Amino acid sequence: MPASLHHPPLAHVVLTLFARGQICRSWSAVLIAAAFCFMGSNAMADSAANFEADVVGAPPAGWTATKTGTGNPQWTVEQDATAPSHSRVVKQSGNATYPVLLKNDTNIKDGFIEMKFKPIAGAEDRAAGLMWRAKDADNYYVLRANALEDNVVLYKTVKGVRRPLDIVGRAGGYGVKIAVPANQWGSLRVEFAGRRFKAIYNGQTVFEVEDDTFPEAGMVGLWTKADSVTLFDAITYGSSK
């Protein structure tokens, strides 16, 4: 937009009008509050995954279905009447060391990814995870919730080898112990800026981690482990402005 056509921020316009006596004090307060709410809601540029145009039973378009390690993952688009979004979901029902689904057109350094998940089955594992700053299927960060272990843990995977990261303010340990019910929808979100990562489970911050193994931008994605049968819904992601 040319400089001559650039509009000043809404809050500035409201204050100017109030000073001129063109709007009353009560309306100026309302409009200023609305302006700041608008700015806050746009602090991150959001993208939402949509699978309505995809074929049910096939892998989702625009994503790479792969794995860390060995095995045969199976990522498919499915219909599920219980989905919170009331739209098509993604299901992982194969068996691999770590089934991975990478979003092809993403390259995010600082931002977030979140989703809702439903762990359905798995004798060895019932996991649902979020990936970020992924270089490929062997190098990335992952935050995962596990319905068999009832915990949430953040890892880094380097050259295919997974390692849990210490929580800020606590040396050692293994994530946090928390109920992760099977056959129920839960939510998982990670916010990442620089070397600091915030893990959020069902809307509550459960811990933060610091690490600088992967400082550069990378792909976001979804993750499970072993024979986990998991549904994923309402997947959103974005970069910090």
What is the pLDDT averaged over residues 152-180?
94
Strand partners, 188: 115, 201
Taking the CB of residue 97, how many other CB atoms lie within 10 A of it?
A: 15
25 & 93 share domain:
no
pLDDT band at 15 (very low <50, low <70, confident <90, very high): very low
pLDDT band at 2 (very low <50, low <70, confident <90, very high): very low
Residue 13: pLDDT above 90? Answer: no
pLDDT band at 14 (very low <50, low <70, confident <90, very high): very low
Distance, CA of 211 to CA of 200 (rounded, Å): 17
Residue 177: pLDDT above 80? Answer: yes
User: Total structural domains in the chain?
Assistant: 2
100 & 150 share domain:
yes
The whole domain housing 27 covers: 3-41
214 & 97 share domain:
yes
Strand partners, 192: 111, 197
Distance, CA of 226 to CA of 222 (rounded, Å): 14
Task: Give the CA distances from residue 201 to residues 87, 108, 210, in Å, rounded to whole numbers and listed in that order.
Answer: 22, 21, 18
**The pLDDT of residue 43:** 52
Average pLDDT, the chain: 87
Strand partners, 18: none
26 & 108 share domain:
no
What is the pLDDT averaged over residues 126-143?
98
36 & 51 share domain:
no
167 & 186 share domain:
yes
Residue 8: pLDDT above 50? Answer: no
78 & 11 share domain:
no
81 & 105 share domain:
yes
78 & 23 share domain:
no
Report the candidate in 137, 133, 126 with the shortest Cα–Cα distance to residue 66: 137
Residue 115 structure tokens: 């989703």
35 & 79 share domain:
no
* Cβ atoms of residues 99 and 223 within 8 Å: yes
**CATH code of residue 157:** 2.60.120.560
Residue 149 structure tokens: 């272990």
Strand partners, 114: 189, 236
